Amino acid sequence: MRDLRMNAFCIRICLVAAFLVSASAVIWFTDADLIIARSIYPSGYMFEGIFRWPGWRVNPWAFLYNFAYIPGAILSGSALLILLGSLFVRFLKIYRRSALFLVLLLAIEPGLIVNILFKEHYGRARFVELVGFGGKYQYTNMWEPGESSNNSSFPSGHAAISFYMMAPWFLMRRRKPSQAISWLVGGIGFGLLVGLAILRPT
């Protein structure tokens, strides 16, 4: 039974990885992010003159961009408090491993991998830094190093902290599957919305 669960888990991971690779390939070959940014700039609305979908500096996207980190900060901050509290309060000890997982996941994924290893060294310019948007750098595709300074646009710290909201799924998927699915769907949905918000050329 344990082997079957492990195999099913591995299959799910492979399916997710295949989807992400496929989506990345579509963006790579179509320059979709650049196309969307051009559709927003400079009016502040996507597809101006067609159906005027709000974009650059317009709510809800501006709100999502500015406050994307708050849900992740609340989740990880609560986990940190529980982790520290478990050292002194007995009933919190049963939540110690879960809290440690949430804290470490935030520190490793959005923290170490995204913001320190990639963003500080990849050099992919933000849209506002590109020629055509008032900047001086040439467009480079994702996974393609650029010439910009540190704190580059790829990968997105906003998206990383937003997708972090699916983290409770890993902890609840067996004991509370319905709640786990809610976290998974909500985290993915929130991450996608923030991903749209950060396509604005700012």
Q: What is the pLDDT of residues 82-127, one digit of tens each?
A: 999 999 988 999 999 999 999 999 998 888 888 777 777 777 777 7
pLDDT of residue 2: 62
In this predicted structure, the answer to whether residue 168 has a pLDDT above a threshold of 80 is yes
Q: Which residue has the tokens 């067609």?
A: 50
Q: In this structure, what token pair is assigned to residue 161?
A: 């902290």
pLDDT of residue 84: 95
pLDDT of residue 95: 92
In this predicted structure, the answer to whether residue 50 has a pLDDT above a threshold of 60 is no
pLDDT band at 137 (very low <50, low <70, confident <90, very high): confident
Where is 102: in which H helix or E strand? helix 96-106
pLDDT band at 45 (very low <50, low <70, confident <90, very high): low
Q: Which residue has the tokens 């799924």?
A: 169
pTM of the model: 0.76
Least confidently predicted of 9-23, 45-59, 135-149, 169-183? 45-59
Q: Which residue has the tokens 């309060």?
A: 89
- In the chain, pLDDT over 90 holds for what percent of residues? 27
What is the distance between the alpha carbons of residues 85 and 79, in angstroms, rounded to a whole number? Answer: 10
pLDDT of residue 101: 95
Least confidently predicted of 108-112, 131-135, 157-161, 169-173? 131-135
pLDDT of residue 28: 82
Q: What is the signed CA dihedral for 186, 16, 169, 8, rounded to 10 degrees?
A: 140
pLDDT of residue 135: 75
**60-64 long-range Cβ contacts below 8 angstroms, 24+ apart:** 60/197, 61/196, 61/197, 61/200, 62/197, 64/193, 64/194, 64/196, 64/197
